[in-house]
Structure 1
Amino acid sequence: MEKQRLIMLLSLITAASVSILCSSGLTKAIESPNYKIVLLESDFHVRLYSESAWISAAVDDLSFEKATLCGYARLFEYTQGGNLNYSWLPPTVPVVTALLPGAGPLHSSAYSVRLYLPSKFQAEPPSPLPELDLKPYKWPIRCVAVRRFYGFTTDESVVKEAERLSKSLSKSNITAGDNGYSVAQYSPPLQIIGRVNEVWVEVTVEGIDGCGSDGETSVASAY
């Protein structure tokens, strides 16, 4: 019991520290991929993302939670100098876990955990250490339907939120792609209060430049 209380206290201190940093403006330098909102609905919106470079960790696991933890641990080591240049990479958001077709939650048994590369390293990412088994990932221009939700992400909450987004899309003229859903997490691991997450899915929206079936959206691919 005392150990649990200590862990809770440390977590609260971490959350408070994050809150102070946010309010002081020190976290404004944290980068994220560029996009513009091209469609706004009551319970979701559509973003048009620019081309960008990411680093990706492939994980085989039936659990979204375990796959994300495993993949992020390798990505974090990469940012802390686990690369052939021994470069430190500043933090970015979000961490995205892509659920690939399979047999686990949302019919997925394989995952790709991805981290956006800072602008300094967009053109030439440092090569990861071989033992981390990471791959550079080029994300092309694409349109993504987004549903925001809060709290800790679990296997159950991911399925629930993805189903809600799917239901909303089914009532619109928006066509979801067949590349599966992704979950974007924006909060530090130990933050308890105010955690922000999103469910993403690639979509086609006729009549919006860059989002049509003849637009430039396509599946992300390795360099």
Structure 2
Amino acid sequence: MLLSGLVAFLLLLTAEAKVGDSANVPFCTETEECLLFEPICESEEYEVRHYDSAKWITTEESAFFMDFATMTAFRRLFKYIKDNNVEMTAPVLMKMETKSKYFWERKSFSMSFLLPSAVTDPPTPADAKVKIVEMPETKVYVKRFGGWMMAASAKQQAKSLSASLDSVGAKYESDYFYAAGYNSPMTMFNRHNEVWFVVQDQPVCPSSEEMD
């Protein structure tokens, strides 16, 4: 009976670790709903989170620099949620490759908006460049930072996180990372950004305590 109760509790946690009330995420302050997560562990250099599967709208855009791709991709996704009366959520994700390329080559960037919990059957996008995807549950290494989400700052923070992970022998998807933004472009102060690397195998959290 005790075991059954424990299993039910764990299932409840999993069910809640999707999209929900932003009050459950202290730094998610500008939207009613946010991508919820289960904290696994934390160190001074980074933290590890578990995210359940969730639905997103996503689009790809090629450009010489992320900052140019971001503007076009954001307008495209924002038009979808506006035309379909879908509420904005957080974070906005930008997937970036870490592979070195010549600066004169156009690079491909992928931006995603999280769909609210009420949108279980998303409207089919009118724009062929907008896709609906369901990202699988995953664990990520996370590093937080403030200021504006620019290509240079995102890459610098990702490089710092990568160095911290390499120093402890952590295994992660190193070919790309996610840049996560939680604020409106109109927000001037107290901005919250993150970079994520997807965990491979078991996460490593040196000199840390597992979260309750």
- TM over 0.5, shorter chain: yes
Give the Cα separation in 2 of the matches to 1:92 and 1:157. Answer: 23
1:71-100: per-residue Cα shift (whole Å, max 9, x none)?
A: 11111111101xxxxx30111001100013
Question: What corresponds to 2:72 in structure 1?
Answer: 70
How far did residue 206 of structure 1 move?
2.2
Picking from 108, 111, 121, the partner of 2:109 is: 111
Superposition map of 1:12-161 within 5 A? 30-81=32-83, 87-100=84-97, 103=101, 109-121=107-119, 123-130=120-127, 133-161=129-157
How far did residue 28 of structure 1 move?
7.4
Q: Residues 56 and 161 (structure 1 numbering): CA distance in 2 closer, same or farther, change over 3 Å?
A: same
Tell me the amino acid that sits aligned with residue 64 of structure 1. Answer: M
Mapped contact 1:101–1:110 kept (Cα < 8 A): no
Question: What corresponds to 1:198 in structure 2?
Answer: 194
1:144-192: per-residue Cα shift (whole Å, max 9, x none)?
A: 1110000012221111111100011112242111440110000110111
Q: Structure 2 length normalisation: TM-score?
A: 0.75
Gaps spanning 5+ residues in structure 2: where?
1-28, 205-212
Q: Structure 1 length normalisation: TM-score?
A: 0.72
Q: Give the 4+ runs in structure 1 shifted more than 6 A.
A: none
1:5-40: per-residue Cα shift (whole Å, max 9, x none)?
A: xxxxxxxxxxxxxxxxxxxxxx67621223111121
Q: Residues 104 and 29 (structure 1 numbering): CA distance in 2 closer, same or farther, change over 3 Å?
A: same
Give the Cα separation in 2 of the matches to 1:34 and 1:104. Answer: 37
Give the Cα separation in 1 of the matches to 2:107 and 2:143. Answer: 23
Q: Percent identity?
A: 26
Say how many residue pairs are matched: 174
